[in-house]
Amino acid sequence: MKVKVLSYVAAIITILFSTSVFAAAPIKIGALFAVTGPAAFLGEPERNSAKMVIDEINKAGGVKGRKLELVAYDTTGDATKAVQLATKLIKDDKVVAIIGPSTTGETMAVIPVAEKEQIPLISCSAGSKITDPVKKWVFKTAQNDALAVGKIYEYLQKTKQTTVSILTVSDGFGASGREQLKSQAARYGITIVSDDTYGPKDTDMTAQLTKIRGSHSQAIICWGTNPGPAVVAKNARQLGIKTPLFMSHGVSSKKFIELAGEAAEGVRLPSGKVLVCDVLPNSESQKKSLMLFVKDYQKHYKSEGDHFGGHAWDAVMLLKNAIEHGADTPAAIRDQLEKTKNFCGIGGTFTYSPQDHAGLGKDAFVLVEIKNKDWVIVK
Amino acid sequence: MQFDQILQYTLSGLSTGAIYALIGIGFSIIYNATGIINFAQGEFVMLGGLLTLSCLDLLKLPLWAAIPCAVAVSTVVGILFERLAIRPLRHPTPINLVIITIGGSILIRGLAMLVWGKDTHTIPAFSGDAPIAIGGATILPQHIWILAITLIIIMVNKVYFYHTISGKAMRACSYNRRAAGLVGIDVKRMVLFSFIISSAMGSIAGIIVAPLTMTAYDVGVMLGLKGFCAAIIGGMSSGISTVIGGLILGVLESLGAGLISSGYKDAIAFIILLLILFIRPQGLFGKADSERV
């Protein structure tokens, strides 16, 4: 009898104990961001945003009573390191999903690991080839370059401009943009009359712009990330070039306006909606998420939230939604992610499907113009 | 149109070249006094720009006060570098010294990254940015500042090296350090002087170029290498040959980017560097055993 009672007590204690352990065990989410190194401008806001949103989810009691735990590593923008750290996240930290990496090169290197180990990967980089063709375990939150290019070309077609000069930076971002600019031109009836590049560390582009001026194109499209495009804008102003200047979404942050100063006036670029969230109409479905993100980021880091941080915010929120739907194993999370419909995030409205792991449409971008040191939506 | 383009390439090239020249002279002065290549030279260029930014933003100084302030602080960094890293070395073989300067440059760059962050910064142009038309080409007022300041610095340099006692003493060191020591010249002090002069010059170069090209913690690497190219073309002279070396480099880069392909801009500089080292290691204008100052 005594033994029986004791065994009951033991059983009850075990159950209590195990459930309490179960409830307390956080769900581990891995993250790979290039916090230092050449891609730090991506990795730093991404890590900050991911940390911020996970802290907030936990403060509000976690997801279905379980806390989330972020295990974030710095890849320094190095693909080899990213692969090692991805393996570490999966084997040692036993994460259920990985957010990142920040650059396309790193993501392409990490994809085989995620596929082999069957862990969902939500990349924060933009390259189209990440989800084209679709890989079972790989999703992404950053807008495709193709969408940004399409946005500019659409506008040019509408305003009947048919000849453009392109000036792209000679790194991964610029090369991918250049490819898209060239391959989509014919579809919009546009001819590229001059095709130039500049180095990521170049400090003077007057030579390229002088050549472009000689080509008499109707528009100039520059594809790069800061600080190059700011130099291009300044040089164009110096040379007195009146041709409309278009930039990529790579410079859609206040930093560009600050760097280019007066020369930024009149520059047009496709941008995620986060930049212009306060001038968006209230009917916009993304507005709530956007305002929340921007205000939060401002509060925590005393700087403006940008769309790079937004990619990480989206990734965490997508995971949160999947976990809310009862998924807590890698396989279940993957299946839930694929069922995501009309999720209003920072980058756009996401709808994943077995055929589409990028999830965004052309409405992810708006074309903005810089006027009086601020953004104005181009109608 | 073709002529206009070439004029524009040349003018752009001259202003970039003037910066290379200033940095190159910094390399030569230290080389002549100590026999080492100071690979931290580019970091003083970076310090000049970023310190000016801090003087403007944090101390709220006007531009005319911020610039001497930034030059002074960079010079102090140069002095500290010489005192703490170069002088205490027990066996100062050239290879040890060169490695120390590389280490120093990485340290300075790392500290700058912590202080100013990884962002690119800009400082306002000295006198507006309304373009000035010359023929069919245009330049900015800042380009004129760059050319004028470079010219003044080169003239001051000339006066210093040929008409003052300490300048002559430095030249003596560059001919023969041992002999200079024997006639009573304090060689170690001359080494310190050389670091003072070149860190000040480097920082001035960084300041006058920052309104055009912007500045960040890592701009020193490329500018340093280009300045080194200029010094090699000039045969490590701290006089006019390095200036011409810098200008040639700037103009060729600009013409190459415009007329051949912009992708090869940096390659042009390094091909010139290699050609000079292979064919005329004494510099473009040097005789085999020319004077170096």
Residue in B13, B131, B222 closest to A240 by CB: B131
- What is the torsion angle, in degrees rounded to the nearest 10, for the CA atoms of residue B4, residue B211, residue B262 and residue B37? 120
Instruction: Render B198-235 in DSSP notation, one character per residue.
Output: HHHHHHHHHHHHHHHH-B-TTHHHHHHHHHHHHHHHTT
- What is the torsion angle, in degrees rounded to the nearest 10, for the CA atoms of residue A197, residue A200, residue A206 and residue A212? 20
* B27, part of any domain: yes
* B148, part of any domain: yes
Which residues of chain B does A238 touch, with a Cβ-Cβ cutoff of 8 Å? 129, 131, 138-140
Average pLDDT, rounded, for chain A: 87
Assess whether the previous peptide bond of A101 is cis (omega < 30° from 0).
yes
* B290, part of any domain: no
* B284, part of any domain: no
For B12, the closest chain A residue by CA position comes to: A206
Instruction: Render A216-239 in DSSP notation, one character per residue.
Output: T-SEEEEE--TTHHHHHHHHHHHT
Q: Are B105 and B78 spatial neighbours (Cβ–Cβ below 8 Å)? A: no
CATH topology of A21-143+286-362 equal to that of A146-278+365-377? yes
* B203, part of any domain: yes
Residue in B118, B131, B263 closest to A41 by CB: B118
* B288, part of any domain: no
Q: Are A253 and A41 spatial neighbours (Cβ–Cβ below 8 Å)? A: no
Q: For residue B215, what is the domain's CATH number?
A: 1.10.3470
CATH number of A146-278+365-377: 3.40.50.2300
**Distance (Å) from the C-alpha of residue B197 to the closest C-alpha of chain A?**
25
Residue pLDDT, tens place only, A319-351:
999 999 988 899 999 999 999 998 888 888 899
Residue pLDDT, tens place only, A194-204:
998 888 878 88
Q: What's the token pair of residue A126?
A: 């933009």
* B52, part of any domain: yes
Q: Are A204 and B213 spatial neighbours (Cβ–Cβ below 8 Å)? A: yes
**Domains in chain B, number:** 1
Residue B90, domain extent: 2-279
**Distance (Å) from the C-alpha of residue A105 to the closest C-alpha of chain B?**
21
Q: Is A313 exposed, middle or buried (0-12, 13-18, 19+ CB in 10 A)?
A: buried
Domain topology for A21-143+286-362: Rossmann fold (3.40.50)
Q: Is the interface score ipTM higher than 0.95?
A: no
Whether chain B has a CB inside 8 Å of the CB on A242: the answer is no
- Of the candidates B206, B198, B211, the residue with the CA atom closest to the CA atom of residue B242: B198
Q: Are B229 and B101 spatial neighbours (Cβ–Cβ below 8 Å)? A: no
* B289, part of any domain: no
What is the value of pTM for the model shown?
Answer: 0.78
Cross-chain residue pair A230–B16, CB shorter than 8 Å: no
Spans of all domains in chain A: 21-143+286-362, 146-278+365-377
Q: Would you write out chain B's pLDDT as a tens digit for each of its 293 residues?
A: 578 888 988 998 998 999 999 999 999 998 888 788 899 999 999 999 999 999 998 988 999 999 999 999 999 999 999 999 988 887 778 888 889 999 999 999 999 999 998 788 889 889 887 888 888 788 889 999 999 999 999 899 889 989 999 899 988 888 888 898 899 999 889 989 999 999 999 999 999 999 988 899 989 988 999 999 999 999 888 788 899 999 999 999 888 888 887 778 788 888 888 998 898 888 887 665 545 54
Q: Are B8 and B138 spatial neighbours (Cβ–Cβ below 8 Å)? A: yes
Cross-chain residue pair B120–A234, CB shorter than 8 Å: no
Cross-chain residue pair A204–B129, CB shorter than 8 Å: no
Which residues of chain A does B12 touch, with a Cβ-Cβ cutoff of 8 Å? 204, 206-207, 210
Residues of B with a Cβ under 8 Å from any A Cβ are 1, 5, 8-9, 12-13, 16, 118-122, 129, 131, 133, 138-140, 209, 212-214, 216, 219, 221-222, 254-255, 257-258, 262-263, 265-266
Going by pLDDT thresholds of 50, 70 and 90, the confidence category of residue A21 is very low
Asked whether residue A251 carries a pLDDT value surpassing 60, the answer given is: yes
